[in-house]
Amino acid sequence: MPKDGGIGASTLRREDIRFLTGKGRYTADINLRGQAFACFLRSDVAHGRIRSIDTSAAEAMPGVLAVMTGADFTEVGGNPTGWLVQSRDGATMKEPKRPVLAHGKVRHVGDAYALVVAETYAQAKDACEAIVAEIEELPAIVDMAAAVADTTNRVHDECADNVVFDWGWIEENRAAVEAAFDAAPHVTTLELVNNRLSPNAMEPRASIGDFDSGTGDYKLYTTSQNPHLTRLLISAFVMGIPENKLTVIAPDVGGGFGSKIYHYGEEAAVLAASKRLDRPVKWVCDRSEAFLSDAHGRDHVTKIQLATDTEGNFLALRTETLANMGAYLSNFATCTPTFLHGTLMAGPYKTPHVYVNVKAVMTNTVPVDAYRGAGRPEATYSLERVIDKAADELGIDKWEIRRRNFINPDQFPYQTPVGLVYDTGNYHATMDKLRELSDIAGFEARAAESAAKGKLRGFGLSTWIEACGIAPSNLVGVLGCRVGLFDAATIRVNATGNISVLVGAHSHGQGHETVFAQLISEKLGVPAASVEIVHGDTSKIPFGMGTYGSRSLAVCGSAMMKAADKIIDKGKKIAAHMLEAAEGDIEFNDGSFSVAGTDKQKSFAEIAFSAYVPHNYPLETLEPGLEETAFYDPANFTYPAGAYGCEVEVDPETGAVDIVRFTCADDFGNVINPMIVAGQVHGGVAQGIGQALLEGVVYNEDGQLLTGSYMDYAMPRADDLPNIDVDHSCVTPCTHNPLGAKGCGEAGAIGTPPAVVNAVIDALRRGGHGQVTHIDMPLTPSRVWHAIHG
Amino acid sequence: MQLADQRTIDADPATVWAAILDPEVLRVCIPGCESLSGNPDDGYEATVVQKVGPVKARFTGHVTLSDIVPGQGLTISGEGKGGAAGFARGSAKVAMAAAEGGTLLSYDVDMHVGGKLAQLGSRIIDGFSRKMADQFFERFQSAVEGPAEGEEPEAVAVGAEGEAPAKKGWFKRMIVR
């Protein structure tokens, strides 16, 4: 029987009532008295020197209140990157400045270099056209290999060869890896591209700056996954507004996928404009602008090599990657291809020697940063593709080669050669579960049916692991992270027993309001309906590092558990006083405090009421009130893992790929709400299929974005997706957080692309096209057809 | 986007050369040209209205003539800013030589677009560029030699006053009395 409301119940999402009835309140829905509208003027060349900007005509346009350019922001600081990465030679990475508005140079198509504020958005937009900018166009740096080779043409002067860092992980292991390769009987080599993606959250970004000249307080309403981090960046680096004078509110946010983690210049610009005009200033991004200004994802070019013995045992692995940073370093850009990528390159395998080299390259393209999975999809894709290729070369079954190399369940905790300690897992179990659910026994019959229709059927397998629950602050500090990655929660028990939980994690589609209420309901024995989750407002919430990296449940959920423990402890003190018993004799079970071995008890509501009506409290030993805050900093990452199976039909006449079956067997540790977990996996798989078959950002050699609308950037639609079978019955609970939870938000986007590509290559091999060993994503009909027909 | 083509014009090279340096010819031949002023030495200021796929814009910009080798060839370059639509920039390297039946005109066109034009129109930009180039040289041809039998190109209306031999283009009529 499913439970009603607590841990393990598929409680329906309470937030869906407002989302599905049009009652959601997004930033664009907020209209403040007297607000003006901002429009940004964006560069239409990829690289150019700003010679002059004449704003006089624009300033004279109807309704125009202010025109600002990069010159107005030379006094404020720049938007920093969150991680300092060391190069192989020990040098600290280059950190080119990222101004609020482009100043001196424009560095990508879409780089904002002026801002018009007017009474209406249309007036602001018209006035943008009246700004006369003389921009001397410079040659665009688009291709990464060319960027590295060209030392004269630079995106940033301080970045001599356009390389931000040249990272070796782990450099000390390099010699041993080389030696293992030299001695290996077989080496499989694969060169591949992890295609650049545009995030396309359903709600485009939007920001409202609201300065109050009466108090000197600033408010920023914005589409953020982590309002506290945005406040921190604006306060500490960009504008110097003290935190106690700046409130950041991220109301309902319609999807982020990483793109709304980061602080963007538009946020600082509307705050500055609001102060200048003493009026609220609102900006809402349109879809074309979003393609040009939201941080993109992926964009790696990788050479991966796997050394094996003749039995397919992995001896060593090495990779060389060029990772595109785009034109500026976004907040997590340097961490994504390094500590979220290189550290996962061992996968679920016991390969003894692994070495990862990543060069981060500046180009005249939109900045690139974490996108659902962030580094881990890139690692998993490279690894699972090269393993399939090795299996084909060695004539070993795809399941068997993986089984042979998995870390065994009795080897945990397992120290990988790339710096992580996996606390627990059972990779054999999830792969066996996948095999069972995929009906492998029936595959040949299905393949024969496909063949009768002239189609080629193939099966693709991938296994995946990721580091979630980001992140242990002491570890990431050593690795160059400039912030701590704990989370925080306050549980405020109100006088009549209902509960407000103020959480640092931000919900922008994940269903926190439902799941977190389930946690508190279970822990404190109160109805979920009496628990309200409050998030997204820095003036209410103690602190928080936001939502990304599948961290909310593992980190913020654990903070909630810690705070709930404090509530129970305080409740016991109150109960001991009320029941005239020793505190040590009070037990808390299922929502009531009782004296052990007696029938004397007080309900949770009675304790709460007493806390706020403390008529007879011994005030020297018992404080009134029932509110507790906890900060939780994880001891380790969590390591969810799983196995994905994809079955495709390829039409050799057209190259079209149809995914006919897709199965996921995941180990997410303990699951709080199975329905929400299934939804998260569905969404991730859809994005993974999008990357594998459809999506890809294309720039031409001038640095012009050619995929700038949904006419040319193909998003997955319902008819591109199969029915997705999701299983998370294999559970090895996380050993170091109170929930035993690992995180599920990114799994689908990580495990899916290699499963799809492996399936297509398998279909071609079975269909007599074994010469095709790789096709770069997206596997469009054209690419598949050309691969088949040479 | 690059393309190359050639066509034979039924006029001697001197006539063709004079036509190509004539601002009025340029104005009539540039598809969508609303206005053009200036001279061959300093270049021309032009306004051109064009629609590329979903993006319609009025481009204002500068047209320059360079690499001028009298009677043999030159490069016509233009760059127009279309405001929010982005920009378009192109050049045509034109060479001419006396040939049987008149003058052989060869041209290499190089065309770039940026901003929203590239963002929304990239799928059709090659076809658009070819159409622009074809139209330009077709109009140039008819301006110089007159329309083929039965055709009534719009160029005829421009500058064609009084009675004129039907087989002569308006430009030819003006210079060949």
Q: Is A102 in the same domain as A243? A: yes
- Is any Cβ of chain A less than 8 angstroms from the Cβ of B86? yes
* Whole-angstrom distance, CA of residue A339 vs CA of residue A165: 13
CA atoms of B107 and B9, how far apart (whole Å)? 13
Mark whether A779 and A670 lie in a shared domain. Answer: yes
- Cα separation of A774 and A460, whole Å? 13
Nearest one of A257, A385, A417 to A751, comparing CA atoms: A385
Strands A36-42 and A281-284: parallel
Computed over every residue of chain A, the mean pLDDT equals 96
Rounded mean pLDDT, A590-618: 96
pLDDT at residue A86 in the model: 95
User: Between chains, do B114 and A702 touch, taking CB under 8 Å as contact?
Assistant: yes
If asked whether residues A77 and A223 sit together in one domain, one would say: yes
Tens of pLDDT, residue by residue over A271-293, are 999 999 999 999 999 999 999 99
Report the length, in residues, of chain B. 177
Residues of A in contact with B83 (CB under 8 A): 129
Of A44, A125, A709, the CB nearest to B120: A709
A646 with A756, same domain? Answer: yes
Per-residue pLDDT of chain B (177 residues; tens, 9 = 90+): 788 999 999 999 999 999 999 999 989 998 999 999 998 889 999 999 988 877 788 899 899 999 999 989 999 998 998 888 889 888 999 999 999 889 999 999 988 889 888 888 777 788 888 888 889 999 999 999 876 555 444 444 443 344 444 456 777 766 654
Residues of B in Cβ contact (< 8 Å) with A700: 118, 122
CATH number at residue A572: 3.30.365.10
Q: Say which amino acid occupies A668.
A: F
Residue A563: which of A632, A484, A635 has the closest Cα? A632
Amino acid identity of residue A669, one-letter, is G
Please report which confidence band the pLDDT of residue A270 belongs to, taking 50, 70 and 90 as the band edges. very high
Calculate how close chain B gets to A44, using CA atoms only, in Å.
4
Predicted confidence at residue A730, as pLDDT, reads 98
- The rounded distance, in Å, linking the Cα atoms of A253 and A223 is 6
Residue of A nearest to B83 (CA): A129
* A665 and A567 assigned to the same domain: no
Query: Same domain for A671 and A784?
Result: yes
Residues 46-75 on B with a CB inside 8 Å of A are none
Residue A262, SS3?
coil
The string of DSSP letters for A377-406 reads HHHHHHHHHHHHHHHHHHT--HHHHHHHHB
Nearest CA of chain A to the CA of B45: how many Å?
A: 16
Last residue of a domain, one of A632, A648, A676: A632
Mean pLDDT of all residues in A725-748: 97
Element (H, E) at A357: strand A353-362
Q: Looking at the structure, tell me whether residues A722 and A619 fall in a common domain.
A: no
CA dist list (Å): B174 to A497, B30, B62, B177: 97, 20, 27, 7
Q: What ipTM is given for this predicted complex?
A: 0.79
Q: What is the C-alpha to C-alpha distance for residues A453 and A186, in angstroms, rounded to an integer? A: 38
Task: Return the number of CB contacts < 8 Å for A and B.
Answer: 49
What is the C-alpha end-to-end distance of chain B, expressed in Å?
A: 41
Residue A96 — pLDDT band, cuts 50, 70, 90? very high
Structural domain of residue A588, as residue ranges? Answer: 486-632
The whole-number pLDDT of residue B55 equals: 79
Closest approach of chain B CAs to the CA of A753, in angstroms? Answer: 27
Which of A574, A597, A632 lies at the terminal end of a domain, its last residue?
A: A632
User: The domain that contains B94 carries what CATH number?
Assistant: 3.30.530.20
Q: Assess if residue A217 is contained within a domain.
A: yes
- pLDDT reported for residue A379: 98
Token pair belonging to A673: 């709400």
Closest by Cα among A365, A369, A336 to A155: A365
A410 within a domain of the structure (yes/no): yes
Residues A442 and A517 in one domain: no
Q: Strand pairing partners for B103? A: B9, B98
Please give, rounded to a whole number of angstroms, the shortest distance from the CA of B159 to a CA of chain A. Answer: 35
Distance CA(A223)–CA(A260), nearest Å, equals: 6
Q: Strands A300-308, A281-284: parallel, antiparallel or unpaired by DSSP?
A: unpaired
Same structural domain for residues A81 and A222?
yes
Query: Where in the sequence is the domain holding B79, given as residue range(s)?
Result: 2-175
Quickly tell me which residue has 């999701």 as its tokens: A726
Written as one string, the DSSP assignment of A486-503 is -EEEEEEE-TTS-EEEEE
Put simply, whether B114 touches A (Cβ < 8 Å) is yes
Interface touch A704/B113, C-beta < 8 Å: yes
Strands A112-118 and A36-42 come out as antiparallel
Q: Which residues of A touch B (CB under 8 A)?
A: 44-45, 109, 125, 128-129, 288, 291-292, 700, 702, 704-709, 711-712
Best to test chain B binding among A42, A43, A44, A111 (most B CBs inside 10 Å): A44
Q: Is B17 on the interface with A (CB under 8 A)?
A: no
Query: What does the DSSP 8-state code read for residue A342?
Result: G
Cβ <8 Å between A709 and B86 = no
Q: Is residue A170 part of a domain?
A: no
Please give the Cα distance from A412 to A407 (Å, whole number): 8
Distance, CA of B1 to CA of B111 (rounded, Å): 5
A711 to chain B: nearest residue by CA? B120
Alpha carbon distance A113, A101 (integer Å): 5
In a domain, A519, yes or no: yes
B123 CB near a chain A CB, below 8 Å? yes
Cα distance from N-terminal residue to C-terminal residue, chain A:
56
Q: Is residue A615 part of a domain?
A: yes
**Chain B residue with Cα closest to A45:** B114
d(CA A196, CA A177): 30
Helix-helix angle A376-394:A398-405, to 10 degrees: 120
Q: How many CB atoms lie within 10 A of CB B68?
A: 15
Query: Nearest Cβ partner of A44 from B86, B120, B122?
Result: B86
Q: How many domains are contained in chain B?
A: 1
**E-only strand ranges, chain B:** 2-9, 33-39, 43-52, 55-69, 73-81, 87-99, 102-114
Q: Cβ contact (<8 Å) for A705 and B123?
A: no
**Contacts of residue B121 in chain A, CB cutoff 8 Å?**
none
**Interchain proximity B123–A708, CB inside 8 Å:** no
Residue A301 lies in a domain: no
Set of chain A residues whose Cβ sits within 8 Å of the Cβ of B122? 700, 704, 706-708, 712
A2 inside domain: no
- Same domain? A608 vs A755: no
Q: How far is A489 from chain B (nearest CA, A)?
A: 44
The count of structural domains within chain A is: 3
Contact A55, A72 (CB under 8 A): no
- Best probe of the A interface among B122, B123, B128, B129, by most A CBs < 10 A, is B122
Contact: A129, B84; criterion CB under 8 Å: yes
A244 contacts A492 by C-beta, under 8 angstroms: no
The mean-pLDDT minimum among A30-34, A535-539, B95-99 falls in B95-99
Residue A171 burial by CB count (10 A; 0-12/13-18/19+): exposed, middle or buried? middle
Do B123 and A704 make contact, defined as CB atoms within 8 angstroms? no
All residues of chain B having their beta carbon less than 8 Å from the beta carbon of residue A291 are 119
> Both A128 and A46 in a single domain?
yes
Report the SS3 class of residue B134: helix
Give the pLDDT confidence score for residue A647 in this predicted structure.
98
Phi, then psi, of B30 in degrees rounded to 5: -70, 115
Domain annotation covers residue A306: no
**Distance (Å, whole) CA A417 – CA A363:** 32
Tell me the helix, strand and coil percentages in chain B, rounded to 5: 35, 40, 25
- A126, closest residue in chain B (CA to CA): B84
Tell me the chain B residues in contact with residue A44 when contact means C-beta distances shorter than 8 Å.
86-87, 114-116
Which CATH number goes with the domain that contains A64?
A: 3.90.1170.50
pLDDT of residue B118: 87
Q: Do B83 and A129 touch (CB under 8 A)?
A: yes
8 A C-beta contact, residue B163 and residue B143? no
**Domain check: are A90 and A230 in the same one?**
yes
